[in-house]
């Protein structure tokens, strides 16, 4: 029973870490990466669809993305969607290819992105701690139902704490890597 609780907690903490990684991918670093445009939706025949479903997104060089729509008539719509997004990007069309240059980051912008990254990391830590609280609550319920002994409860909580510490450490390492990435010129 305790092993099931541990396994469940570990899976949920892993999902929190994945969500943090996704959030970090949305924070731009001044270098081009196709995942920057993951949050952009395009109106395609009346419904909003992710940009990746109507175009190929490639890196032209370290500071430029090339968006190639599958249908040429979608180019103006894609360009508008990129401009409307909160990414602060200014695409330019050259025929059916849309180039998205990455503006270089100012010191102030870098600081703001670092604040955003720290906030996302703190949200991930809170999520991991909430999962720990839930798992410990489940273990206490087992003790209340007399399904396990007190020493098993203590051992289970210690193991949950070790898993929590590991994931908090992983969050901290991801944050350090993102901060280093943002401070690179």
The residues near 114 (Cβ < 8 Å, ≥ 6 apart) are: 179, 182, 183
CATH number at residue 83: 3.30.1360.40
Give the residue from 71, 101, 131 where a domain finishes.
101
E strand map for the chain: 41-44, 47-50, 55-61, 64-69, 92-94, 97-101
pLDDT digits over 32-59, tens only? 777 777 778 888 888 888 888 888 888 8
Q: Tell me what the mean pLDDT of segment 66-88 comes to.
A: 83
Q: What is the mean pLDDT of the chain?
A: 86
Q: How many domains does the chain have?
A: 2
Quote the CA–CA distance of 25 and 95 in Å, as a whole number: 29
Q: Average pLDDT of 173-179?
A: 91
pLDDT higher than threshold 60 for residue 185: no
62 and 12 housed in the same domain: no
Domain shared by 50 and 94, yes or no: yes
Please tell me whether residues 44 and 68 are part of one structural domain.
yes
Phi-psi region of 88 (alpha: psi -120 to 50; beta: other; left: phi over 0): left
SS3 assignment, position 37: helix
101, 130, 152 - which closes a domain: 101
- Determine the pLDDT at residue 102: 81
Looking at the structure, do residues 86 and 176 belong to the same domain, yes or no?
Answer: no
91 with 142, same domain: the answer is no
CATH code where residue 13 lies: 1.10.132.20
Domain boundary (101, 130, 146) is at 101
Gap between the Cα atoms of 75 and 89, Å rounded: 16
88, 118: one domain: no
Expressed as residue numbers, the domain containing 155 is 2-26+106-183
86 and 115 share one domain: no
Shared domain for 40 and 66, answered yes or no, is yes
pLDDT digits (tens, 9 = 90+) for 128-172: 999 999 999 998 998 888 888 888 889 999 999 999 999 999 999
In a shared domain, residues 9 and 43? no
């Amino acid at each position: 029973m305790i092993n099931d609780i541990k396994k469940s907690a570990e899976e949920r903490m892993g999902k929190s870490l994945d969500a943090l990684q996704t959030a970090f991918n949305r924070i731009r670093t001044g270098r081009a990466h196709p995942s920057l445009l993951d949050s952009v939706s395009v109106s395609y025949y009346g419904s909003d669809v992710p940009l990746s479903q109507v175009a190929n997104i490639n890196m032209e060089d370290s500071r430029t993305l090339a968006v190639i729509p599958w249908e040429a008539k979608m180019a103006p719509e894609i360009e508008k969607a990129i401009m409307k997004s909160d990414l602060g990007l200014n695409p330019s069309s050259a025929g059916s290819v849309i180039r998205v240059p990455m503006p270089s980051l100012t010191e102030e912008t870098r600081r703001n992105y670092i604040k955003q990254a720290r906030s996302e990391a703190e949200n991930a830590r809170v999520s991991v701690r909430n999962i720990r609280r839930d798992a410990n609550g489940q273990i206490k319920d087992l003790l209340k139902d007399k399904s396990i002994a007190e020493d098993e409860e203590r051992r289970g909580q210690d193991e949950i704490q070790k898993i929590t510490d590991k994931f908090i450490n992983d969050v901290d390492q991801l944050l350090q890597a993102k901060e280093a990435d943002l401070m690179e010129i």
